[in-house]
């Protein structure tokens, strides 16, 4: 029985020559690990290979970083015909106000030669983050009403101060009014208008 099981295991391993593993970590410019980041392995083909496949890129595997920023992707390379790249994805977990997406990491050579690669992704601050962070501090911090608005929407594209001392922050999809003491007195979260169509239902 044990001999049969060992033989089946050996055949299983031998029959999966295209399996590969990528280990890595995602951290920011200050060396802090980033948790909850989606990381994917993509195969980018070019020329005739892309034409034959019908698309330039396909996703071969995906993972999410743990609390220390580490991830592991198990992938099948049987459909791979191009360069193998590790990439961070700007999904709903990505902090677009804080960070910009890092460049892809090319792991083609080690992954094809050894079926294992290590990828480190360095995430830099988003353009304008320093200015936004200063504005959040001036607003009393990210836990204040104004701080939360800034952290969610970024710096307002337009601000207006009325004669009675009220300040208005105007965004494409929202409008916030603050009294002279900085307290939020009105919030108008307007629905976005789809191109060529009516406003979406805000309910």
Mean pLDDT of 144-152: 94
Residue 79 sits in the same domain as residue 166: no
* Banded pLDDT at 51 (limits 50, 70, 90): confident
Specify the pTM.
0.73
Residue 79 sits in the same domain as residue 171: no
Q: Compare 203 and 155 and report the one with higher pLDDT.
A: 155
Question: Is 92 within a domain?
Answer: yes
Element containing residue 75 per DSSP (H, E): strand 70-76
Return the percentage of the chain with pLDDT > 90, whole number: 70
Question: Is 115 within a domain?
Answer: yes
Instruction: For residue 117, give its domain range.
Output: 18-123
- The predicted-structure confidence for 162-183, as pLDDT tens digits, reads as follows 888 999 999 998 999 999 988 9
What is the predicted pLDDT for the residue at 93?
A: 86
Residue 117 sits in the same domain as residue 174: no
């Amino acid at each position: 029985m044990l001999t049969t099981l060992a033989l089946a295991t050996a055949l299983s391993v031998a029959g999966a020559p295209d399996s590969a593993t990528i280990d890595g970590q995602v951290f920011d410019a200050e060396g802090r690990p980033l948790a909850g980041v989606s990381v994917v392995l993509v195969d980018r083909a070019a020329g005739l290979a892309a034409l034959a496949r019908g698309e330039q890129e396909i996703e071969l595997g995906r993972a999410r970083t743990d609390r220390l920023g580490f991830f592991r992707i198990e992938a099948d390379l049987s459909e791979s015909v191009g360069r193998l790249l590790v990439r961070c994805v700007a999904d709903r977990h990505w902090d677009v106000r804080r960070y910009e997406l890092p460049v892809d990491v090319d792991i083609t050579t080690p992954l094809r030669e050894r079926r294992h690669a290590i990828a480190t992704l360095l995430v830099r601050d988003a353009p304008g983050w320093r200015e936004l962070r200063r504005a959040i501090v001036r607003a009393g911090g990210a836990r204040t009403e104004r701080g939360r608005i800034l952290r969610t929407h970024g710096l307002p594209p337009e601000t207006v101060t009325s004669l009675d001392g009220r300040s208005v922050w105007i965004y494409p999809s929202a409008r916030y009014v603050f009294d002279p003491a900085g307290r939020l007195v009105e919030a108008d979260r307007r629905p976005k208008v789809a191109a060529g169509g009516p406003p979406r239902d805000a309910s």
